[in-house]
Structure 1
Amino acid sequence: MRDRNLLLVSLLILAVAFAAGCAKRQLTKSDMDRADAIAAKIARAEKMGAKDCAPKELAAAKAELDHARHEAAEHHEEAEKYFAAADKAADALLSKTIPCWAAKAPKPIAMPADAPTVTLSANPGEIAKGTCSTLSWSTTDATGASIDKGIGNVGTSGRRQVCPPETITYKITATGAGGEATSSAMVKVVAPGAMMLENIYFDFDKSFIRKDAKPVLEKVAAHMKKTPMAKLQVEGHCDERGTSEYNMALGQRRANATKKYLANLGVDGSRISTITYGEEKPADPGHNENAWAKNRRAVFVLR
């Protein structure tokens, strides 16, 4: 009986030892991290078309990884060499897949550059002969610009004073990566006498500015501001009634009142001169109230 019990104990010990020898060892965290890193390389290659670019290398890398996982579970102490082999196979897979993927990848399409724009203006657009205007221009998406009529290359934005002797149209051309654009501006040149400004009129024996004269004077002031180089002469006139000496003085008062009003509107007084002609230069030679009303006036002459 005692021998039988010893035999049973011995058999039990052998069974436990055999079971322990046959049990699979679990993957450690280090093994799982290594396997995940290799699997990520393989997944990257698959996204890049490894199935078509490197089918043999893809199959080999997957097989090596499966083998490494199996061996790590069976014989942990030898797992490193199997993971190293799987890692090498994954690198070989990427080495063949990446150039193939790059060759097949669509080439980036270069976006066309925006076409340039340009504007050119002249201020004032109409000048008396011998005076000047200012050209102003601006551009977008331009790398260079030039203006004709002898001006040549200019910046992509700027201003330039011009004093043409006759009516002229300037043209600017802006260039850039997207092509070129043009714009034009005309400067009209007229003889000083041709720029007739409307007269203003006065009541009998008076020199104050009437209400109906104010809109006219505002237009004269606006024109003078647009032509900063222009000079203005104001002529004072009277009708034939009164003495010659009295009318000369009255004509001067009318010219002076007109100049003062223009100065109050912002015109530099140094640009305005006055002269009186009294009754010497009638607009209408008649001897009635209608003619006299036309002769009581201030006349503007641009110089």
Structure 2
Amino acid sequence: MAEQGDTLCGAPEERSPGVTLSDGLMVTRIRPTGLLPTSTIRLDRENISSIGKLRRLAEIHSLYLQQNQIEKIENLDSFPNLRFLCLAGNRIQRVQNLQALPHLSALDLSHNQIRVLDTEELPRSLQILDLTGNECSRQVGYRDLVVAALPRLLQLDSQPIHGNTAEEEAGGGSSSSNEEELLPELRTPFTVDRDFFVDLHRELAGRARRRRRKTLEEHRERLQELSERRALLLGPERERLQELSERRERLQELSERRERLQELSERREWLQELSERRALLLGPERERLQELGSQRAPGGIQLPANALEKETRAKGAAIPNIP
């Protein structure tokens, strides 16, 4: 006999008068956690005392109703494709109304109040069955009776079954591999409370944050390394480019200075030429003015200086002014 802790869904708990499982209750109590597939419904520890008539839910493969106050198995035909059913820790006294589940592969009825087991009520598709904690599991010949009634059974009360039809059809393969292939939901821990999934979600979120942080740090270190390598490769070239740029600027400045000096030189030559031409034009006239100034008019009258200046200006008016 398996121990209480080895059952699929755990031991019973004492509860106050409960409620009926209905579509409204499922809508208000079920909240997606992101940790279970959409084909799974968990309503454990919801103080449910009976299962009402529900709408058809063909997409549901796993149903968890452990640790409630359910007294009768009923109205499960709303889950025609159900493969896993957990009713552990309830107040069920009789196995019934399971023939409407032709695909049921795993059934947990541990820690209920079943005294007499009617194997005709068990679906022949069962591969895993747990009746631990019920009075019927302590009766003489119980195990042989169940094994004979369920040809595909692989595990009974957490104990493997050898020599059954399912094992022979698989060519003697291990029961654990068949369970994982047909019932992937069984790899989920059933004996934990809902707080486990909250903690698990937090742990997974924390790990994801740590992985992102570590990846970001590695990325920054890689960028820093690439920057340092680039600086090492481009350092001498950058200095050479800087030197060429400075030389270009100096050459540009020298070129501008040369052009300015050339312009000044041409202007000086032009001024020199103008000065020479003026000297050539005004030389004889200046001598004549000096000669006239040194003489006096007859009768002791001296020529007026302003008259001489007017005459000189009239003759030299064509000569441009030198700036």
Please tell me the TM-score bracket, short chain as reference. Answer: under 0.3
Rg larger for: 2
Structure with more strand by fraction? 1
> TM-score, normalization: structure 1?
0.23
- Which structure exhibits the higher relative contact order, with contacts defined as CA atoms closer than 8 Å and separated by 6 or more residues? 1
